Amino acid sequence: MIIDRFQDENGKHTFLSNFYPSPIQVTLSADETLVYPTVEHYFQACKNPDLDYQREVAAASTPGKAKRLGRKVQLMPGWDSVKLDIMRLAIEAKFWPGSQLTVELLCTEDAYLVEGNTWGDTFWGKVDGRGSNWLGIILMARRTELLHNITGKLLQKG
């Protein structure tokens, strides 16, 4: 089976989208914690280490607005070499053991996940069947990791 869009019309797979509500909390200091409402907010905030910028992204009213802020900011040095790791961390935070979102991810079973889109993103997804589909790859890897963790715990109990 292939899930080829995360923004489907019936809403069944929208939870896979980085725009789906899934708060990520980051402690900046003993006095300050930022909550990013979605993976998209978190990812865009990571593009630049300036705390005022990160606060602005966290406060963006929609993931689309957070993405627009990320398009305008000066990228931190070496961004291209860390962006996949940052996305992996964000996906781990979104799909943590025991969460409802993790249950939904595991219910996709062995489906091939494709972030199909019409806006031209061939790095994180695919357009007309072409692209690297890094978001889909990271999601499938996280699903496998979670499944192995569950299986390992069941075997330990047995």
Strands 33-38 and 21-27: antiparallel
Q: At 126, give phi and psi (nearest 5°).
A: -135, 145
Q: What is the pLDDT of residues 54-113, one digit of tens each?
A: 999 999 999 999 999 999 999 999 999 999 999 999 999 999 998 999 999 999 999 999
Domains and CATH numbers, the chain: 2-157 (1.10.357.40)
Q: What is the pLDDT of residues 13-36, one digit of tens each?
A: 999 999 999 999 999 888 989 999
The model carries a pTM of 0.91
Sign of CA dihedral 7, 90, 60, 35: positive
Cα 135 to chain centroid distance, Å, stands at 7
